[in-house]
Amino acid sequence: MSDAPAPDRNEITATGSVRVPRPATGAIRTLGSNPATAPIVLHPGDAMPTWRRVLYIVLLGALTALGPFTIDLYLPAFPILEADFDTTAAMIQLTLTGTTIGFALGQLVVGPLSDKLGRRVPLLIVTGLHIVASAAAAFAPDLVSLGVTRVLMGAGAAAGGVVAAAIVRDLFGGRRLVVMLSRLALVSGVAPVLAPLVGSWLLQVMPWRGIFVVLAVYGVVMLVSALIFIPETLPRARRQERGSTTIWQRYRSVFSDRVFVGVLIIGGMTFSGLFSYLSASSFLFQQSYGFDAQQYGLLFAANSVGLVIGVQTASRLAARFGPQWVLAFSTSALVLTGAAIIVGDQLHLGVWGTVVPLFLFMTTCGFTFPCVQVLALDRHGNAAGTAQSIIGATNFGVAGIISPLVGGLSHGAPISPTTMASVMVGCGVIAALSLWFIVRPRTVAQLAP
């Protein structure tokens, strides 16, 4: 120890121990009263106390949920908007399309910028944009103004999920990365399902414009929380590493990775299958099966439980067996559970023939989401923001294109379980083919500790 250089003040940990700079392996040794027995910390977050990790999960989860809530919270207000603006359902639907486009494009911008400038600056600026756009949407005088503000709201909400996942990758790696990303995947999977339910509750106590006020307040809370509790996690040296200093170089490094491209397709197809259910479920269960609003809300809640079960189980299995092998199970299950919905409909098994396999399908989506993120981000720590932005933009962009196929397959007739599940099965087949022919699980190394 006497030959070691004196530590800089920035190398003193919160517990008072000395942290020696990273050696070539990337590990950090935290030196306490007995350096010989001090643990080696492979990633900055490994030495983080439990309360701090819980705080990060809560804040980063809330940031991740901002995007899905921005997109889906106002879905129950569509009939009211149609009447207030004296327009068609298709025109109202365009405001949702605009939000999704803004969200996808915003991620493609914010992700690379967060790798170049650090995490905090893009997060604060874009979240501020979300606040302003939400307030403007609450006072939009016509449908065109609402559409413009919705595009800006989508772009402003983009920072949350991208930066949250990138911060987790900055701080964690290996098996702990699986656990942390599974928490974010839980939020990103459940939020689109819960948002319409929360929106319907809000409409019982406020006009539709109040929903956008709520979203503006949500953004303010996130902005203040980020200012106070979220430090910069991307060291300046990593922003300037050779071969990844420009946006183009970061995109090229990510897309040149075969495994990343494969899991990108798997994630996009799984999310598209989920969105096919979200876009069709209100018509299917309320018109075809005669559900009232309360029964429909209970269905949403039950499927949310399925997502929770899938995500939490997947995090444990992925840490033990590897995320690629969890995906081997989940992609096959996507096809089988979707096919079970079709079989139940063709055999006229009624609502239970649809609800039970649908619950299993949603549970399977929960298995898939965290494994996609882990395989993508664990391999691209130096471009985590870029990688996550591509995942998010692909998920929402592809889902926005594919989910309307449910209505197209109906040819003007009421949406049936078969038409909905046909799209879900197609998405599952593409995901499975991508796993076995592009990712190739046997070629993927096991996660480091």
pLDDT tens-digit readout, 172-221? 877 777 778 777 777 766 787 788 888 888 988 999 999 999 999 999 99
Under DSSP, is residue 412 helix (H, G, I), strand (E, B) or coil? coil
Give pTM, 2 decimals.
0.73
By residue count, the chain amounts to 449
Backbone torsions φ then ψ of 9, nearest 5 degrees: -60, -30
* 150/184 Cα distance (integer angstroms): 24
In this prediction, what percent of the chain has a pLDDT beyond 90? 36
User: Is residue 326 over pLDDT 60?
Assistant: yes
So what's the pLDDT on residue 240?
Answer: 62
Contact 94, 149 (CB under 8 A): no
Smallest CA-to-CA distance from 219 within 277, 132, 283 is with: 132
Smallest CA-to-CA distance from 180 within 389, 384, 399, 342 is with: 384
Which tens digit of pLDDT belongs to each residue from 14-67? Answer: 333 434 344 333 344 444 444 444 445 567 777 778 888 888 888 898 998 998
Average pLDDT value for residue range 149-170: 89
Residue written as tokens 């997109």?
71
Indicate the average pLDDT of the chain: 82
User: Is residue 360 over pLDDT 60?
Assistant: yes
Contact 131, 213 (CB under 8 A): no
User: Is residue 247 over pLDDT 80?
Assistant: no
Q: How far apart are the first and last CA of the chain?
A: 28
User: Is residue 357 over pLDDT 50?
Assistant: yes
Residue written as tokens 């699986």?
178
Lowest mean pLDDT among 288-292, 328-332, 434-438: 288-292
Choice between 26 and 380, residue whose per-residue pLDDT is larger: 380
Contact 114, 250 (CB under 8 A): no
Choice between 374 and 333, residue whose per-residue pLDDT is larger: 333
So what's the pLDDT on residue 7?
Answer: 39
Choice between 244 and 246, residue whose per-residue pLDDT is larger: 246
Average pLDDT value for residue range 271-300: 80
Contact 125, 178 (CB under 8 A): no
So what's the pLDDT on residue 435?
Answer: 97
pLDDT band at 158 (very low <50, low <70, confident <90, very high): confident
Under DSSP, is residue 218 helix (H, G, I), strand (E, B) or coil? helix
So what's the pLDDT on residue 165?
Answer: 84
Residue written as tokens 């096991």?
446
Token pair of 94, please? Answer: 């365009």
Torsion angle, CA of 435/437/439/440, rounded to 10 degrees? Answer: 100
Choice between 260 and 33, residue whose per-residue pLDDT is larger: 260
Beta-strand ranges (E) seen in 184-266 are none
Lowest mean pLDDT among 52-61, 134-143, 220-229: 52-61
Average pLDDT value for residue range 355-365: 95
Average pLDDT value for residue range 343-366: 94
